[in-house]
Structure 1
Amino acid sequence: MTRTDNDTWDLASSVGATATMVAAARALASNAEQPLIDDPYADPLVRAVGVDFFTRLVTGELGLEDLDDDDTVGMQRMTDNMAVRTKFFDEFFSDATRAGVQQAVILASGLDSRAYRLAWPTGVVVYEIDQPDVIAFKSAALAELGAEPTAERRAVAVDLRFDWPAALIDAGFDPSRPSAWSAEGLLGYLPPDAQDRLLDTITELSAPGSWIAVESVPHIDPERQEQAAERMREASQRWREHGFDLDFTELIYLGDRNEAAAYLEERGWRLTRRSVRDLLVANGLPPMDDEDAADFGELQYVSGTLSA
């Protein structure tokens, strides 16, 4: 379903289904022979959503080899990418809160379970922002599992296209104190101008000493954009053959946009960059081949702090 300015979703449709896809990849990564991450809630949350395709994936009824070939975006590589991505953001929050930051904000939190599985220092408050239906489902599903947050969790049920800063402050967030922000798997689902507004708002709400972590994609020329879109369409078709109909190209916004890292640096953030290639190699996972690089190679994981 093509995006519109006021579209909504649950965890089985549109953008929400990608949150379930990500959780399925985290579940697979957690069950690897030598796992980089441990997310015990990913598997049961995927099952709770009830999308048959993803349920069969996490139970092993549908194998990665059934989805991967040389011409499509590989689910195995996506799982590897999710493992290093999750580890990167886990370590980001651990580092920020060990340094004394006591407000963590997870934007578009989806089925993320960091508020339940990380060892947060005493006094940390974790704010999770997402659409009301997504927040309600995850909160109820984790309660049903008997899961207890490991920090003070405050769910902020609001669409990022609305006045989320007011909702965040109403939930107790204090802009005068340092905070740690994550925008994980988010920016590509925003139009370019909305991305800039989001990054501007984060900066406005951040006291000196705040931390940030985002995915950043350098400018891609139109020819390569079309190549990437074609590979996404091929992957969508392969998944459709197994009963799951979702066209990824209808969910994201391709075209010119500011590189998030450079944009943030212009606004006073001091950042370091790690490419997904670097993270895969550093964590002992297979290096990218040319096809993988076409899909993931330019992706950077960026983190840093706001100057005084």
Structure 2
Amino acid sequence: MEATVSQSLRLTTWTNSDNTVPKLTNSMRLYTRFEKKKNINMLKCNHLGTIKPAIGHRSAGLKASCASQNSPASVLKSETSITEEDLLLKKKCEEIKPCLSGRCIYLVGMMGSGKTTIGQILSEVLDYSFFDSDKLIEQAAGGTAVADIFKLYGEGYFRDNETEVLHKLSLMHGLVISTGGGAVVRPINWKYMHKGITVFIDVPLDTLAQRLTAVGTASRPLLHHGSGDAYNQTFRRLSKLWEERSECYTNASVRVSLERIADKLDIGDVCSVNPTQIAIEALVQIEDFLKEER
């Protein structure tokens, strides 16, 4: 699988365009490393703290790919034991996996919604491979960061490569793919993603603004801060992006709402919903979608 993916994911737009990025590798291959991990990066919620994934010690470990630029995901040591949520996640996975028949899962949502974190959890329990589409584009560009690609070549150029990545991934099976926040704006991308199952991770805008302000927005090319409070600037920009994209998210096969999870579990604050709980809800919603398809 790894060799097939590495050979298949070559972006022709980088090698055939007049705007070719200089000093790229000759083959333009995407070097993707799959390593088993015992835990995942914490999902940052706001400036007051973080949400720790309640995944305990997993026997299979996390398959992490493209989780950070040109390197595998970092590992957080955990001494927690297996929780009831771990067991529920495993049980739900065992119920749904045969029905998937290898179909890919695409996670869509606004920036900062936790797509990568949730995708890594799902790929582990399903024994799928994980890809982050933004990281694949960066690797194809010789390690050039998304923010720099936007700055040097424009958003349209980035979107062309994003579409090509999604096209090539759509030809494969057994993948969980975290997509960029703007991947939903092109109808052609939905054509490719609908070959699998698309999952919209729906997070309230104020929560997203808190998360992104806490970790900084330098790597987010569409979040341009002017003068004034960083949170307010981020919230206003996110609101604008939401107006442009909210209708696009309705194309997703299923919707996973953090507010709904919080209500279901009687959790007062959506920031207290942990990634494992989100992954469980994603599997529940996928199962319901598959039942409707029959």
**Which has the higher relative contact order, 1 or 2, with Cα contacts under 8 A spaced 6 or more apart?**
2
TM-score using structure 2 length? 0.40
TM-score using structure 1 length? 0.38
